[in-house]
Structure 1
Amino acid sequence: MTEQQALAALAAAENELQYLRGLIALIAAWINDPANDPSVCRALAQHVGLPEPRQEPP
């Protein structure tokens, strides 16, 4: 692999990481939105490996 190929691969990996971080932030915001069903939020958090929601049950 040439240096140019390595730099292109690194840039692609950084772009994908930025995209995935954005998805995680979006999912975390949805999980912690009190307007959503708490049991669904807990299940989604467990499924994707995020902490359980901070919201209080109604």
Structure 2
Amino acid sequence: MVTAGPGRGGITVRISTRLQLVWRDDDWRMVAPSSGDWTRSSAPVADLTGYTLFPDRG
């Protein structure tokens, strides 16, 4: 998943976070990294090529 937020100097910063989901008890559940450290699951993103945007529900 790519999220965006404000960076220094008004630049938008994008971060990709790898998420693992499992279907359990009739619902999707997110699995935490085995180390418990989410920072190792994220990386900066400079190019959105290859990512799929969620459809606009508006």
TM-score range relative to shorter protein = under 0.3
The structure, 1 or 2, with the larger RCO (C-alpha pairs under 8 Å, 6+ apart) is 2
> TM-score, normalised to structure 1's length?
0.22
More helix by share: 1
TM-score by length of 2: 0.22
